[in-house]
Amino acid sequence: MSETARTVVIEAFGGPEVLELQDRPVGEPGPGQVRIRHKACGLNFIDVYQRTGLYPLQLPHALGMEASGVIEAVGDGVTHLNVGDRAAYASAPPGAYTEARVMPAAQVCPLPDEIGFDEGAAMMLKGLTVDYLFHRTTPLSRGDTVLFHAAAGGVGLIACQWAKSEGITLIGTAGSDEKCELAKAHGATHVINYRTENFTEKVRELTGGKGVDVVMDSVGADTFEGSLDCLKPLGMMISFGNASGPVPPVNIGILGQKGSLKITRPTLFTHIADHAACQAMARRLFGKVTGGEVKIRIDQRFPLEQIADAHGALEARQTTGSTILEL
């Protein structure tokens, strides 16, 4: 097939200026693959990590991990999708910033009719991340307390609503009073402006000195040490991102000194690697959205050709909620 699709590609690691829009051939799906015509694409911090080389890719490489659209062709062995189906995904390999692509089918999920394509593109990576944080990383029960950094971001606003829907107390941090109010409006029990308050001291105050059961931290270097001091004995630190830079090497002995703490560094792609697990996680996420417990907030929209501006806004922490690329 000679059809081409506009696709965002990098040929070198660097700033937003390395993002190029190229016409690339699409092709036909092989066994276990589908061809999907995108309606919208999602934007995530992992895209920045890949662009800068923090998460290295073999260059040149297309970028983007999340999109929604319509299935145009199905390869042999694919049974959960048909031509014409609405679908959405968060999946490797990168390449979602495009009009159409051929890709592995296992992590592409049928999208319910009640969920729009824009929402589908905005929710998959962030929503599936929240699912594994709350359901697959460490046991959480009604009444438990979680500290969630960057609570007004795309993942954070979903997490605030998810926690409220399951009776979990969520203490959210954000970098402005406006962002704190946004997190509170989406279900955070308490909010802390980390620019004007010491979040560790405030968490201790809010928990009567006990600390929280779990910290969920996508910020990384800036919040790591303070987060450990927010945990109660036997608490779990989930470090799942590096928005402020990677966490420096840790002396594991400090976990014993601070109360036999636990720590993990998960990635979404481990959790969704199994087809059945991925589809089950997506159904749980879709259920939260169609049931009204989670609303997907899209606060920024950029045309595909303004991808550099979109990356710049995300890195400068000028975004709230989710950001999508319009095709």
Whether the Cβ atoms of residue 171 and residue 208 lie closer than 8 Å to each other: no
Q: What is the CATH number of the domain that holds 303?
A: 3.90.180.10
Residues 205 and 224 in one domain: yes
In a domain, 133, yes or no: no
In a domain, 132, yes or no: no
Sign of the dihedral defined by the CA atoms of residues 176, 178, 183, 188, in that order: positive
Residues 170 and 260 in one domain: yes
Residues 110 and 147 in one domain: no
In a domain, 18, yes or no: yes
Per-residue pLDDT band at 1 (split at 50, 70, 90): very low
Residues 151 and 198 in one domain: yes
Between CA 278 and CA 91 the distance in angstroms is: 10
Residues 142 and 258 in one domain: yes
Q: Select from 238, 265, 292 the last residue of a domain.
A: 265
Residues 142 and 261 in one domain: yes
Scan for tokens 């040149």, then name that residue.
Answer: 60
In a domain, 287, yes or no: yes
* Of 22, 24, 36, nearest in space to 68 by CA: 36
Q: Which helix (H) or strand (E) holds 45?
A: helix 45-52
Q: What is the pLDDT of residue 237?
A: 98
Residues 32 and 70 in one domain: yes
Q: What is the CATH number of the domain that holds 188?
A: 3.40.50.720
Q: What is the pLDDT of residue 245?
A: 85
Q: What is the pLDDT of residue 220?
A: 87
The pLDDT tens digits of the residues spanning 223-265 come to 999 999 999 999 999 999 888 888 899 999 999 999 999 999 9
The pLDDT tens digits of the residues spanning 260-313 come to 999 999 999 999 999 999 999 999 999 999 999 999 999 999 999 999 999 999
Angle, nearest 10°, between helix axes 177-185 and 154-165?
40
Local structure of residue 293 (DSSP, 8 states): S
Between CA 321 and CA 323 the distance in angstroms is: 7
pTM of the model: 0.93
Residues 158 and 237 in one domain: yes
Taking residues 5-25, what's their average pLDDT? 97
- For residue 259, give every residue at least 6 positions away whose Cβ sits within 8 Å of its Cβ, in sequence order, or none: 231, 232, 233, 234, 235
Q: Select from 215, 249, 265 the last residue of a domain.
A: 265
Taking residues 174-195, what's their average pLDDT? 97
Per-residue pLDDT band at 320 (split at 50, 70, 90): confident
Between CA 244 and CA 318 the distance in angstroms is: 14
In a domain, 113, yes or no: yes
The pLDDT tens digits of the residues spanning 70-120 come to 999 999 999 999 999 999 999 999 999 999 999 999 999 999 999 999 999
Tokens of 295: 């609303």
Structural domain range at position 144: 138-265
Mean pLDDT, the chain, rounded, equals: 96
Residues 47 and 159 in one domain: no
* Of 160, 195, 212, 94, nearest in space to 320 by CA: 160
Between CA 136 and CA 133 the distance in angstroms is: 6
In a domain, 131, yes or no: no
Residues 104 and 180 in one domain: no
- For residue 129, give every residue at least 6 positions away whose Cβ sits within 8 Å of its Cβ, in sequence order, or none: 155, 240, 268
In a domain, 130, yes or no: no
Q: Select from 265, 285, 302 the last residue of a domain.
A: 265
Residues 235 and 306 in one domain: no
Between CA 156 and CA 234 the distance in angstroms is: 24
In a domain, 259, yes or no: yes
pLDDT at 2 over 60: no
Between CA 266 and CA 263 the distance in angstroms is: 10
Tokens of 144: 């438990």
Residues 142 and 241 in one domain: yes
The pLDDT tens digits of the residues spanning 143-171 come to 999 999 999 999 999 999 999 999 999 99
Q: Which helix (H) or strand (E) holds 224?
A: helix 224-228
Q: How many domains does the chain have?
A: 2
